[in-house]
Amino acid sequence: MLKLTPLRRSVTPIGNSGNRLCCRQGWSIALLALLCGALSPTSGATCQMGCLTGFNTALGDDALINNTGFYNTAVGFDALFNNIMGAGNMASGDYALFSNTTGTNNTASGESALYRNTTGSNNTASGSFALFSNTTASGNTAIGDSALLNNTAGNGNTAAGELALLYNTTGNNNTANGLEALIENTTGDDNTATGVAALLGNTIGNNNTASGGNALLNNTTGNDNTANGARALYSNTTGNRNTGDGIAALAKNTTGSDNIALGDEAGRNLTIGDHNIDIGNQGVEAEANTIRIGRIGTQTATFIAGISGSTVPTGVAVIVDARGHLGTTTSSARYKEAIKPMENASAAILSLQPVTFRYKKELDQEGIPQFGLVAEEVEKVNPDLVARDEQGKPYTVRYEAVNAMLLNEFLKAHRKLEEQQKEIEALRSQLQKVSAQLATGRVRPIGGLELNKTAAQTVLNSQ
Axis-axis angle for helices 399-440, 453-461 (nearest 10): 150
- In this model, does residue 210 exceed pLDDT 90? yes
Nearest of 99, 124, 87, 122 to residue 109 by alpha carbon: 124
Mean pLDDT of 107-127: 96
Q: What DSSP state is assigned to residue 48?
A: E
- The model's pLDDT over 286-324, given as tens digits with 9 standing for 90+, comes to 999 999 999 988 898 999 999 989 999 988 899 998 888
Q: What DSSP state is assigned to residue 28?
A: H
| Per-residue pLDDT at 436 | 84
- Please check whether residue 200 is in contact with residue 217, taking contact to mean a CB–CB distance below 8 angstroms: yes
Q: What DSSP state is assigned to residue 409?
A: H
Query: What does pTM read for this prediction?
Result: 0.77
- In this model, does residue 160 exceed pLDDT 90? yes
Annotate 217-249 with b (16+ C-beta within 10 A) or e (fewer): bbbeebbbbbbbbbbbbbbbbebbbbbbbbbbb
- The model's pLDDT over 379-390, given as tens digits with 9 standing for 90+, comes to 999 999 999 998
Amino acid of residue 279: I
Nearest of 365, 337, 352 to residue 401 by alpha carbon: 352
- In this model, does residue 176 exceed pLDDT 90? yes
21 confidence band (pLDDT: 50, 70, 90)? very low
Q: What DSSP state is assigned to residue 35?
A: H
Mean pLDDT of 158-182: 96
Angle at 90 between CA 86 and CA 95, to 5 degrees: 90
- In this model, does residue 24 exceed pLDDT 90? no
The whole-chain average pLDDT of the chain stands at: 87
Angle at 60 between CA 56 and CA 61, to 5 degrees: 110
In this structure, how many other beta carbons lie within 10 angstroms of the beta carbon of residue 70? 15
Nearest of 93, 86, 96, 146 to residue 122 by alpha carbon: 86
- Please check whether residue 174 is in contact with residue 186, taking contact to mean a CB–CB distance below 8 angstroms: no
Q: For the chain, what percent of residues have pLDDT higher than 70? A: 86
Cite the DSSP H helix spans in 286-363.
none
What is the spatial distance between Cα 26 and Cα 366, in angstroms, rounded to a whole number? Answer: 75
Q: For the chain, what percent of residues have pLDDT higher than 90? A: 75
Mean pLDDT of 197-208: 96
In this structure, how many other beta carbons lie within 10 angstroms of the beta carbon of residue 348? 15
- The model's pLDDT over 389-415, given as tens digits with 9 standing for 90+, comes to 988 999 999 999 999 999 999 999 999
| Per-residue pLDDT at 462 | 53
| Per-residue pLDDT at 322 | 87
With a CB cutoff of 8 Å and minimum separation 6, the contacts of 358 are 364, 367, 368, 369, 370
- The model's pLDDT over 46-73, given as tens digits with 9 standing for 90+, comes to 887 878 889 999 999 999 999 989 999 9
